[in-house]
Amino acid sequence: MRTTFDLTPLYRSTVGFDRLFSMLDQVAGYDGQGSGQGSSYPPYNIERTGENAYRITLAVAGFAAGDLAIEAKENTLTVRGDKQAPKQEEKKGEVLYQGIAARAFERAFQLADFVEVHGASLENGLLHIDLVREIPEKMKPRQIAIGATQATGKVIDAKAA
């Protein structure tokens, strides 16, 4: 059973939160995964490794680094995997059961503002993507000095007066 929420009243009373509401609209059905019909392949973990550092780990057993593509664009991190089928002469035997999935996939993650990819590595069938949130200096909190204003509109330093 799928429940939908109408976020239209919020659109009317807020400014600059369009992307947030769009993400909320997509959560239940993003890439078909929330509808119960979609795939949860490949499985993944998201962990916090520091105050402003994160790591996404995807289980991509059977994929080589050349089979994977990572793209960061407009606060969206997309990981794609497309395993090339082995050539007929490379096959050594007949597969009786295939439990290790090797199907193509695409997994997208929405990143918060100022979160950037700092690297990726593939080891033991796990793809690790390291992320860091770097807030620009102009966005960090700062102290504002309080001064008196002259009739000319110039600010006088309160300490000098």
The pLDDT score that the predictor gives to residue 143 is 86
The answer on 75 and 18 residing in a single domain is no
The pLDDT score that the predictor gives to residue 101 is 73
The answer on 56 and 127 residing in a single domain is yes
**Residue 115: alpha-carbon gap to chain centroid:** 8
The answer on 130 and 70 residing in a single domain is yes
User: Do the Cβ atoms of 53 and 93 come closer than 8 Å?
Assistant: no
The answer on 117 and 66 residing in a single domain is yes
Cα(120)–Cα(117) distance, integer angstroms:
8
The pLDDT score that the predictor gives to residue 95 is 80
The answer on 68 and 47 residing in a single domain is yes
The pLDDT score that the predictor gives to residue 107 is 92
The pLDDT score that the predictor gives to residue 97 is 86
The answer on 60 and 31 residing in a single domain is no
The pLDDT score that the predictor gives to residue 122 is 95
Expressed as residue numbers, the domain containing 20 is 1-38
Tell me, yes or no, whether 80 lies in a domain: yes
The pLDDT score that the predictor gives to residue 141 is 84
The answer on 73 and 52 residing in a single domain is yes
Q: Which of 155, 134, 133 is nearest to 145 (CA)?
A: 155
| Terminal-residue alpha carbon distance, the chain | 69
Tell me, yes or no, whether 5 lies in a domain: yes
The answer on 121 and 79 residing in a single domain is yes
pLDDT 10s per residue in the chain (161 long)?
A: 556 666 666 666 566 666 666 666 666 554 444 433 346 888 999 999 998 899 999 999 889 999 999 999 988 999 999 987 666 556 677 888 878 777 899 999 988 888 999 999 999 999 999 999 988 888 888 888 888 766 666 655 655 54
> How many domains, the chain?
2
